[in-house]
Every structure is written in C-alpha cells, then in structure tokens.
Structure 1
Amino acid sequence: MRVMIVGGGFIGGHLAGRLRAEGCAVTVAGRRGADMACDLARDDTAVWAQRLRGYDALVNCAGILAAGANYDGVHARGAIALFDGAAQAGVARVVQISSLGASDGTTAYHRSKRAADEHLVSLNLGWAIVRPSLVVGRGGGSAALFSALAALPLMPDMGGGMVQPIAIDDLVEAIWRLLRRPLPMSVVVDAVGPEPMRLVDLMAILRRWLGFEATRSLPVPRWMMRWVATLGIGPMTRDSLTMLEAGNAAPVEPFVAALGFVPQPVARALDRSPATQGDRLAARLSPLGPVLRGLLAAVWLAGGLVPLLLTPMASNTHLLARLGLTGEAAIGTVWAGSLADMAVGLALILRWHGAALAGVALMGAYSLILAAVAPELWADPFGALVKNLAVLGLSLAIHAMEKPHA
C-alpha cells in the first residue's frame, strides 16, 4: 500500500513508523523536515491532485491549536483542497484525523475541523473520520504539557469536564485497521480510551510514570485561567480553555465495535514504555522555560536602559577611549549597543526564533572586546566579565529549549 500522511507531527510521525514497519510505502508531507514540503494553508486542489497521483491512501494528521492560529486555512480550506485533490487523483481511501467535539462546533478549532469532516463525507470516495480525545504518548504535546504540570511540587487542579485519553499506539492501531477495511469505509469513530478521568487524575498517572513521589493538588481559580488564556501566557488559549470546561469524553463501546479491539488504559500504555532520565529532565525544565526566558530578557533590557537612563554618559564612554573612540563616536557607540541590547530583550519577550542565539553572539562580542581593552575586569570583585559566562550559558540553554519551526 502506498500512503501519504499529511502532517508529520506527533500522530503523523508515529503512524509513519507503524506503516513502514508493516511494509507500506509512506510519504510524509509537512512544512519542515518531511519527505515532501507542503503548506495546507496555501496549496490548492490542483497541487494536491498532482502530488497524490498513484497513492492508494491518504491520512490527514495536520492540526494546530494555538492562539492566533489559522484554523480556517489549515483545518477547513486547506483540508478541503486536500480532499478534493485526493478525489481527482483517484485515491481510494482517505482517513481524516479530526477532533472529539468537532460535531458540536463550540470553538473555532472545532468548527474548522467540522467543516472539513462534512466536506469529506460528501465526496465519492472511501473515507473514515477519526475523532480522538486527548492522545497520550512520548513526543506528544499534551503528554509533555501535563507531564510538566505533574512534575511541579503541587499539581494544579484546573477542574473542567472529564477527559478520556487514548494511547498513541492504540490510535495508530485504529488508523491501520481502517486503512485495511473493505471499501467503502464510510465510518466516523470517536477514538477514546476505556477510562474517563479528570485532568488532575491524568497528571497523577504521569507523575507516577515519571517516578516522582505522590503530591497534593492545588485548585486553580477559573478567573486566573481565563486571565492567562486572554493574555496568551503559556500554552493555554481561549479555545483550549473552552474545551477543558466542556470535557472530552465519549462511550468506548462504539470504538470497540468499529475497530475490533479494546484500547488499553493510559497507565498500562505508559508502563510499556518506562520514563527515562530525559523524560524526567524535560518535565522539570519545561515549566522553567518561560521564567528563564523572562529573566534573560530582563538582563538584556536592563543592559540597554541603564546606560541611557541611570548612569552618566562619561562613565559609559570611559572604556571606549581605550579603543580610540571619543566624543560623538563614543556616544553613538553607547547608543548603538544599548539599542542592540534592548532589541535582543524584546525579541526574547516576543519569542522570536533565534533571539537567544543572537544574544550569544552579541554577548560574546562584548566579552572579547572588554577582555582585550580591560583585562583587569576578569578580576573585578563584582564579576563584571565573569558573569557574562553565566549569561552565555543561560542563552545557550534557552536556545536549545526552543521548538523548531513547524
């Protein structure tokens, strides 16, 4: 079987590995690091029809959930163009990875998924729509987020409705069975695990998996969560908050009847793949990422503002005289350096990719110049130059923690 998977993220990556192990010829299409470059928000039907010629099956795993995300472009218009292209290319089977709750359409995220689902159903081809609840497994965004929350000294109890998480291996097994299903498929499946639970219960499972001692939970006021979602702080968005409040559960019996197997409890699925030291380190560091970025941004902003607002210009230009810079040239250099510092600080706050690395280059240049013109600063009791090494280390750590472009 020749299969194209659109979206090479968490689900798409696991599915590609399984299909290749089963002997399928797999092409992963995505925006970065995929076998084939694509952009669902831009590529039209004709482009997809050309790409999909000769393929037996298509699985659309593309999905985004973030503040300001182009849901209509990716989930709706992009997916519709993809499905129309598959129909024109003669692809026999199309599996759409939608979302549990898409039929209700309570959020922009769900409405965009529902639009694509409804269009796929109207086409004359073999189709299946899989609507997962929260998917748990190594490498998944949800597992990483809730593992990070579970690793805190007190687990945050965010309340909300019940969730019914499904292990990634079971979701992949379901898709594999659908791809082998006799045509026409014409099936909608709510992909859920066997156990409804609260989010705080899922965090407790993840905490045990990570090997941390049990701890208490701390209720988080709903007003605080709405405030965080409105300001766009962290991963919480208005849509994700609405989905949290509504819950994400469904009966498991229709899944079992449609796919012919019982999904495993999440705790058992996690036990099959024990947590490593890397998992524990990632869980502990993840909550610190925004804090470390904020502290580094504060250092750069202070480095730019203090020379301009708090210290005499004569003090700022004193060392520059050793480089032969005096008068307006020295003042201009101070302004240029201060503006560069503030630019790095603002770039860190805005989460621009590579901002920390730009700071490494700038701090490295400053350190080399100061070491050349004033080597005595290495012995300064306040660590005027030695502290730069700590800032360089922090910058490299933040850059390493950045996610690659999607």
Structure 2
Amino acid sequence: MTAPAPTPAPAPTVLLCGANGFIGRHIAQALRRAGWQVRAASRNSSPAVDFTQASTPAHWAPLLHGVQAVVNAVGLLRDSRTRPMALVHDAAPRALFDACAAHGLRRVVQISALGIAHGDTAYARTKRAADAHLLALTEAGQLDGVVLRPSLVFGAGGESTRLFMALARLPWLALPRPVLQARVQPLAVWDLADAVARLLPPPAGIATGTSATTDFTANNATDGTAAFTGLADLAGPQAMTMAEYIALLRTQLGEQGGKGQARPARVWPLPHWMTLASARLGDALPFSPWCSQSLALLASDNVADAHTLPALLGRPATAPARFIAGLAASSGG
C-alpha cells in the first residue's frame, strides 16, 4: 500500500508594513516569489493599520501571531498634522520593533534612506530615530535586525521615477544648482526588493541560492549571500549627477522609441530663491515628489559602496543604462 504523500508545510508569513506603497508593492512580489505568504499592514489592508495610532507594542501584538519575519517599508515625504512623521516614521516602528522583541520574532528589516545620517529635516530625524532603535535592539541581542538605506530608487509606480522620466522628455531643463552638482547612485526597485527577500531565511523546500541558515550574525556570509544584521547603505553600480541621470534616461527613451541617440537637453541652473520657492510649492502639492524634504536629501551626495547591493543579491545590480528596459519585467512581476 502506497503511503500518502506528506502534507506540504504552510508557507511562512512575513508582516509587510507599507505593502501598498511604491517600494512595498515590489517587496511583496519578491517575497511571494521566494515562497512567503505576505500579511500586509497599511491603511488599505484588512485589517487596516493606522500608523498614527499604532504607537505601543500592544497595537502590534495581534498582527504578529503566526508571523516569522517583519519588513517595514513605510515612508512619507511630507510632515502633516494628520500624518506626522514623528508617529509614522518613529513612534509606530519603534513600537513594532519592541513588540517583535517581546514575541521572540527575531528577523526585522527596516527600509530607510541614504542621506539621513546627518540631516536635520523631520524626515531625516524620524527615520534615523527608528533606525537607531532597531539597531540598538539588535546590538542588545533581542532582534536580528537589518536597516537598509537605499539611494534614489527607480521603478514602476515611483513618483520620483515619473518625474525624472517626464524631465527626460523635455528639450530643456531648469534644475536647482545643488541638484546639478550633487551625485546620486540610483538603484532599481526590483533589485532592492530581491535584496530584502534574500535577507529572510528561505522557506523550507524552496530552492534558492541562499542558504537556509537563520544565523543572522554580523557579516555572516553563506553561499555568496550576505545574511547579516546591522546597517547597510545600498546604491547602484554608477554614481552620477542628477543632470547625467536624466540624460541617461533620455538616451534610453530615444533608443526605446527607435529614434536612436536623443539630442542632449539644454540645462540651466535655477537661482537659489527660485529653487527654494519651487520646493515650497512642492510642499503644497500632495503628490509631487519635489518638496523641501527631497531638496534636502538631494542637495548633497547620495552615494555609497557599490559592492554591497551585489553582495546581497548574489548577482550584479542592474546598471542605470538598463533601467527602462527592466521596467516591463518588474511591473509585470
């Protein structure tokens, strides 16, 4: 008599905060491909999670039952009375991290941002505070936490991507002088999402290039994948000024449309007063990626070691010259 086939183990569950956002949606796709069941936590999830109210560990406890890992990808560019950054970026994530420690749920990944280490904006201060809390809990041995600070992220659904694609189609550009001078090191959102998925222990029975180890000690590398705790600054393979980045997108758009090499756009620097006025105008437009917070982030170099992201991926990171070609595949993921 043939023995019945064993019942497959249920897919492990990851709590993904910000699952409906730009980066969160791509992370959710990558996690599902890796064999995870994604439990979304956002204003639009069921049950809905209001980060302005979830400021104590007790708020998070019911959502952690049956969860093996947590990823926080929540982020705001604008501070407001209805959604203050002090709550959404700082108090709610700290409460979540404390709840994870209390429940013995060790693996936590926090998506932060490159350039906040020394910034004095509300965005930088609140993100930095939550990062520090997770890293302190990790240092104390209560969590196996990772803070990822990516540079400028390109991908389908990104407000900044839409802005830069629109700018790349213009025959002339007027850009703030700090943005013209500072360098960025853009990375593809699908690379960031894959890196997050590879930082979690692979579900049993899933064949991946990552070892199934759950030993997340600092700088522990297994099978070419950096499975570690601590802080990781993430950047793409090429640093460039913002004008060079827009020009690179312009070239790709010309090639995609069969028009060959596009003529370079003419670029003029905006006067300082006009730069500040444009950022303040962006502050008043809820869906504009250009505002005082983004000006502060992009006014200084936003670059990092280009080797960290490939180490996490176990493969080369996508070159900026291949960004537009990769859009269709990532949005269809």
Could you tell me the TM-score, scaled by structure 2's length? Answer: 0.76
Q: Indicate whether 1:146 and 2:156 are aligned.
A: no
1:111 CA drift (Å): 1.2
- Closer, same or farther: CA 3–274 of 1 in aligned 2, 3 Å: closer
Shift, 1:200, TM fit:
1.5
Specify the SS of the correspondent of 2:149: strand
Q: Which runs of 5+ in 1 are unaligned?
A: 276-406
Corresponding residue SS for 2:277: helix
CA distance in 1, matches of 2:233, 2:90: 20
Q: Deviations over 1:268-295 (max 9, x none)?
A: 13223359xxxxxxxxxxxxxxxxxxxx
Contact 2:236 2:309 (8 Å CA) reproduced: no
Aligned with residue 53 of structure 1, among 65, 75, 89: 65
Deviations 1:88-125 (A, max 9, x none): 23322100001112322332211111100111122201
Contact 1:160 1:244 in 2 (8 A): no
Q: Which has the higher contact order (CA 8 A, sep 6+)?
A: 2
Q: Does the alignment pair 1:37 with 2:80? A: no
> Structure 1 CA distance, aligned partners of 2:272 and 2:301?
15
Q: 1:249–1:48: structure 2 CA closer, same or farther, 3 Å change rule?
A: same
Residue 84 of structure 2 aligns with which residue?
A: 70
Q: 2:317 aligns to what?
A: 263
Distance 1:71 1:161, change over 3 A: same
Aligned to 2:174, what secondary structure does the other structure show?
Answer: strand
The structure 2 residue matched to 1:125, chosen from 119, 143, 155, is 143
Q: Which residue of 1 aligns with 2:251?
A: 208
1:222 aligns with one of 250, 256, 272: 272
Find 1:169's aligned residue among 178, 190, 199. Answer: 190
Deviation of 1:70 after TM superposition, in Å, equals: 1.5
Question: Which residue is 1:12 aligned to?
Answer: 24
SS for the counterpart of 1:250 is: coil
Paired letter, 1:99: A
Native 8 Å contact 1:100 1:131 kept in 2? yes
Q: Deviations over 1:316-356 (max 9, x none)?
A: xxxxxxxxxxxxxxxxxxxxxxxxxxxxxxxxxxxxxxxxx
Q: CA offsets per residue over residues 240-260 of structure 1, 9 Å max, x none?
A: 212221131112124444554
- What is aligned with 1:189? 232
Q: Name the CA distance, whole Å, in 2 between partners of 1:5 and 1:220.
A: 40
Matches of 2:153 and 2:132, distance apart in 1:
23
Q: How far apart, in 1, do the equivalents of 2:77 and 2:181 lie?
A: 18
Identical aligned residues as a percent: 40
Aligned AA for 2:150? P
Report the AA paired with residue 92 of structure 2.
G
SS in 2 for 1:246: coil
The structure with more strand, counted as a fraction of residues: 2
How far apart, CA to CA, are the structure 2 residues paired with 1:202 and 1:35? 39
Secondary structure of the corresponding residue to residue 86 of structure 2: helix
> Which consecutive residues of structure 2, in runs of 5 or more, have no partner in the other structure?
1-11, 202-212, 217-227
Aligned residue identity for 2:134: L
When Rg is computed on C-alpha atoms for both structures, the one with the higher figure is 1
Deviation at 1:233, TM superposition (A): 5.2
Of 81, 87, 99, the residue aligned with 1:85 is: 99
Using the alignment, how far apart are the partners of 1:134 and 1:178 within structure 2? 20
Runs of 4+ deviating beyond 4 Å:
none
Structure 2 equivalent of residue 94 of structure 1: 108
- Please report the RMSD computed on the Cα atoms of aligned residues, expressed in angstroms: 2.1
Counterpart-to-counterpart distance in 2, 1:41 and 1:77:
8
Q: Provide the rounded CA distance (Å) in 1 between the counterparts of 2:328 and 2:17.
A: 29
**1:6, 1:102 → 2: CA distance?**
20
Distance 1:258 1:17 in 2: 18
Greater per-residue helix proportion: 1
Equivalent residue pairs, number = 274
Please state whether the residue corresponding to 2:70 is helix, strand or coil: strand
CA 1:151–1:36 in structure 2 vs 1: closer, same or farther (change >3 Å)?
Answer: farther
CA contact (8 A) 1:94 1:126 kept: yes
Residue 129 of structure 2 corresponds to 115
CA shift at 1:79, angstroms?
0.9
Mapped contact 1:61–1:96 kept (Cα < 8 A): yes
What corresponds to 2:200 in structure 1? 179
Map Cα deviations across residues 136-160 of structure 1 (whole Å, 9 max, x no partner).
0111111012112222331333324
Contact 2:234 2:305 in 1 (8 A): no
The alpha-carbon deviation at position 170 of structure 1 amounts to: 0.9
- Give, in whole Å, the separation in 1 of the partners of 2:133 and 2:327: 38
Shift of the 118–194 alpha-carbon distance from structure 1 to 2, 3 Å rule, reads same
What one-letter code is carried by the residue in structure 2 that aligns with 1:148?
Answer: A
**CA–CA distance in 1 between the matches of 2:34 and 2:47?**
21
Q: Which amino acid aligns with 1:66?
A: R
Could you give the per-residue CA deviations for residues 178-228 of structure 1, whole angstroms, max 9, x where no partner exists?
113633342311110010111122212222333474332232222211122
2:295 to 224, 236, 241: 241
**Which residue does the alignment assign to 1:26?**
38
Q: Is the 8 A contact 2:117 2:128 kept in 1?
A: yes
Contact 1:155 1:203 in 2 (8 A): no
